[in-house]
Amino acid sequence: MVLKLFSASFPGAGGGIVALVLAEKQILFEHVLVDLKAKEQKTPEFLAMNPFGQVPVIEDEGFILYESRAICRYLAEKYADQGTPLLPKGFNERALVEQAASVELADFHRAVSKVVREAVSKVNRGLPIDQSALDQGLANLSAKLDVYEVILSKHRFLAGDEFTLADLFHYAFAPVLAEGGVNIMTSKGPNVARWWNELMSRPAWVKLKAEGIKGTVG
């Protein structure tokens, strides 16, 4: 039974990072499009899979899992020896990935979400911007990227010289910043810019960005 990914087709959010792991790991999957505007994520059938009523969700041989980063970890572990090795095997190396992944979720993602909400989502919907929330989000993001600049001056990726899940998690939302004219990912420092440009040119991302989330079967 082929793995099913339930999500919208938009690449720059939680469904996108799951689709990226599927691509990096060369895992065949069926994409089940969930129409968020039609509230398909709130139907009793969907809530039985994810009681929070949100995408993405996967079904893998009858096993249901939600939360994008948890799904990515599951896939990276299950298919450890297939495609790009997204999680190192060594105990310490793995801990360094978790360290960088923690910073992504607790700090980076929180700041990016605030900026995207103000500079992209509200603008697209014609809603007034909360300038102080935007300024605070940008200041928080800027402070995190200053530290990323130091980290990335020592190695190619966030947890060492290999691309890992810690880098991959940054595709959840940050690519949307440029849509709102926020070019902080490439203007903060040379090492952050090098790292971000490398992420933005990975073939799996280039394809996903161009095509949206599309299954490989079904």
68 part of the interface to ligand GSH, by CB under 6 A: yes
Q: Please say which residue, 68 or 84, places its beta carbon nearer to ligand GSH.
A: 68
Pick the stretch among 48-56, 149-157, 197-205, 207-215 that binds ligand GSH (CB under 6 A).
48-56
**Which residue has the closest beta carbon to ligand GSH?**
54
As measured in angstroms, the least distance from the Cβ of 153 to ligand GSH is 30
User: Is 113 in contact with 121 (CB distance < 8 Å)?
Assistant: no
208 part of the interface to ligand GSH, by CB under 6 A: no
13 part of the interface to ligand GSH, by CB under 6 A: yes
* Tokens, residue 211: 């095509």
For ligand GSH, the binding residue among 55, 174, 192, 199 (CB under 6 A) is: 55
Alpha-helical (H) ranges within 104-169 are 109-116, 123-124, 131-152, 165-168
Q: What single letter denotes the amino acid at residue 187?
A: S
Residues 118-142, buried b or exposed e (16+ Cβ, 10 A)?
A: bbbebeeeeeeeeeeebeebbebbe
84 part of the interface to ligand GSH, by CB under 6 A: no
Q: What are phi and psi of 172, to 5 degrees?
A: -75, 95
As measured in angstroms, the least distance from the Cβ of 172 to ligand GSH is 7
40 part of the interface to ligand GSH, by CB under 6 A: no
Closest CA to 175 of 189, 188, 185, 166: 185
Determine if the peptide bond prior to 85 is cis (ω within 30°): no
For ligand GSH, the binding residue among 54, 140, 186, 216 (CB under 6 A) is: 54
Binding site for ligand GSH (CB under 6 A): 13-14, 36, 41, 53-56, 67-69
